[in-house]
Amino acid sequence: MVEDNRADVFLIREALNEAGVNAELYVVPDGEKAIRFFNMADADDNAPCPILVILDINLPRKHGGEVLRQMRQTRKCADALVIVVTSSDSDQDRQQMAQLGANEYFRKSSEFREFMKLGEVVKRLLGQSEVPPPAP
């Protein structure tokens, strides 16, 4: 997850838990660190690469579009699924992120129930129909 807002990190975790998505989650708080993460994974054959990236657009230090562009150019992480999770409802942002290879675009809602739908989007994108609940 590339997200600088701690409250949104909390809500995204809640949405994943509510949907029964049991995943190891790494949180990177800015665009530069995200690009560094992908470059380090590319340079080290033993480093993990994410299956799915939850990416905010408006990040400190590097815009989410630049993060996505750089990630798509890596050898190992280029094929990772990407869900853009942002407060922007701009058609231009949607088009730009789609052109850069985003798989989904989810607008952050101020309504809790609407925000929780993100978990189902993640689950659907991962192709998970029956996901076991997280371990206690």
Scan for tokens 């925000």, then name that residue. Answer: 115
Which tokens sit at 53? 């990236």
**Which pLDDT band holds residue 130 (cuts at 50, 70, 90)?**
very low
Task: Say what percent of the chain tops pLDDT 70.
Answer: 93
Q: What is the CATH number of the domain that holds 43?
A: 3.40.50.2300
pTM (2 d.p.):
0.88
Domain count, the chain: 1
- Is residue 1 in a domain? no
**Which pLDDT band holds residue 128 (cuts at 50, 70, 90)?**
low
H/E segment holding residue 55: strand 52-55
- Is residue 131 in a domain? no
* CB environment 95-108: b (16+ within 10 A), e (fewer): ebbeebebebbbbb
Q: Over the stretch 53-112, which tens digit does the pLDDT of each residue have?
A: 999 999 999 999 999 999 999 999 999 999 999 999 899 999 999 999 999 999 999 999
- Is residue 94 in a domain? yes
- Is residue 104 in a domain? yes
Q: Which domain holds residue 20?
A: 6-125
Report which of 70, 91, 89 is spatially closest to residue 28, judged by C-alpha positions: 70
By DSSP bridging, strand 104-107 and strand 52-55 are unpaired
Give the Cα separation of 86 and 102 in Å (integer): 12
- Is residue 40 in a domain? yes
